[in-house]
Amino acid sequence: MTNVSSLNTSLNEIFTGCGCLLFCSNSYIKECQNTTVRNCAACSIHLAQFILAGFIITAVLIILGNGWFVASVFTLKKKSRTRYDYAKASLAIADAIGGVTLFVFNIPNLIWSLDTTGPKIKDYNEFVASHSLAPKVAIILLHFNYSSSVYHILYATVNKFIAIKWPFQANVKSTKQIFFHLAAVWSFSALATLPMWFPEARIVYQSELFSYMPTFDIKNVEGIVILTVGTFLLIVPYIAMTILTFVILYVLHFSNKKSQSMRRSGNSRKVETNFWTTMALMHLGFTLTVVPLLALVFLDIRRATTCTNGILHFVLNFIATMSGLVNVTIYSFRDRRFRHRTKTMFYKLGRINTS
């Protein structure tokens, strides 16, 4: 019983934080008691402006980059679109959610911090936990951003595995079937946010992230169950995706050896290898950007977040936000059709502007 109580206290310490701001000294709460952070000597307005510019640039790049990819797919003639184009466009929409959360929550919170006194920032957690609806929406949207990305990549990985093991069944899929599958992916992604809808999921503000985090009262069974279900819905798909990726690598390696021994054309092997490389890069990009943040959250269950490691938390959280740029960047280098569509669209826009 003591261990459960201690762990619950630790969880509350983690997500309540110390009220620190990355562009202020640790004593800013006292020094900025009677003045706004913007005009406080304990804070660097230039560093705050740098962080704000970073948020704005990242949000614009995420939304425009993924929006451009979606537009490049749907400006194609219907006969020219492949089923993979629809899946990639759907993933691009999922990735764009990260840019939306920056614009709707992180950026306004940072601006609010500049125009607020130190004690108000420190006390904001209590207000968030019991009075405000916006943080609840923010947490649901943040979880939806993560879950929709991981479920889309899992869907692409499963599709690739089916295409290798049962190529005939994979080739006869219709566009309607693809849309049905993608609707299921979005449904499971929404289902993964279910734990955030329950009142047992308290929402607290983390000033060093300019964002919100959930915490659960694990003194009662409901809190433990919801936390377990939430972890299962978010972590298990990633584990399945990782296992399938290595299985595909093994199968492709074996099939390449077999086709070489049969002296078959290397063109099909090249296509398979290119597709595998793209999938592996997407998986690697997702892992490098999101998993470190998840690891930090789980490690902090036993070591409360303080102002000394708040910078690390911010950096990892910002890197996780950058995951919205990973896939569209990979397409830019790996997808020849996307590069061609981009050049064509720029050419058409240029002609419109000159006419």
Give tens-digit pLDDT for 98-134: 999 999 989 999 999 999 888 888 777 655 655 567 7
What pLDDT is attached to residue 128? 62
Q: Mean pLDDT over all residues of the chain? A: 76
Which residue ranges form the domains of the chain, and what is each CATH number?
Answer: 2-354 (1.20.1070.10)
What pLDDT is attached to residue 169? 61
The pLDDT of 237-253, averaged and rounded, is 80
Where is mean pLDDT largest: 69-83, 139-153, 313-327?
A: 139-153
The percent of residues in the chain predicted with pLDDT above 90, rounded, is 17
CA-CA distance, 180 to 203, in Å (whole number)? 34
Q: Name 260's Cβ contacts closer than 8 Å, sequence gap at least 6.
A: none
What pLDDT is attached to residue 111? 93
Instruction: Give the residue among 98, 134, 306 at the shortest CA–CA distance from 212.
Output: 134
Where is mean pLDDT largest: 85-94, 121-130, 194-203, 258-267?
A: 85-94
* pLDDT above 50 (res 7): no
In tens, the pLDDT along 264-289 reads: 445 555 656 666 677 778 888 888 88
Distance of CA 287 to the CA centre of its chain: 10
What pLDDT is attached to residue 10? 37
Q: What are phi and psi of 211, to 5 degrees?
A: -150, -170
What pLDDT is attached to residue 53? 95
Name the pTM for this structure.
0.80
DSSP assignment, residue 105?
I
The pLDDT of 54-73, averaged and rounded, is 91
The pLDDT of 349-355, averaged and rounded, is 63
Q: Say if residues 19 and 121 touch (Cβ distance below 8 Å).
A: yes
* pLDDT above 50 (res 9): no
CA-CA distance, 58 to 5, in Å (whole number)? 40
What pLDDT is attached to residue 182? 93
Sign, CA dihedral 291-293-295-297, equals negative
Confidence tier at 136 by pLDDT (50, 70, 90) = confident
Beta strands in 209-291 (DSSP E): 211-216
Confidence tier at 4 by pLDDT (50, 70, 90) = very low
What pLDDT is attached to residue 52? 94
In tens, the pLDDT along 18-60 reads: 567 888 887 888 888 889 999 998 899 999 999 999 999 999 9
The pLDDT of 292-317, averaged and rounded, is 65
What pLDDT is attached to residue 208? 81
And the tokens for 33? 């008691």
Least confident of 138-147, 183-192, 211-220, 282-291: 211-220
* pLDDT above 90 (res 62): yes
Structure-model confidence comparison of residues 326 and 125, the more confident one: 326
What pLDDT is attached to residue 349? 66
What pLDDT is attached to residue 107? 94
Q: What are phi and psi of 24, to 5 degrees?
A: -130, 160
The pLDDT of 142-165, averaged and rounded, is 84
* pLDDT above 90 (res 14): no
The residue count of the chain comes to 355
* pLDDT above 70 (res 243): yes
Confidence tier at 296 by pLDDT (50, 70, 90) = low
Q: Find the angle CA(60)-CA(185)-CA(204) to the nearest 5 degrees.
A: 60
Q: Say if residues 255 and 268 touch (Cβ distance below 8 Å).
A: no
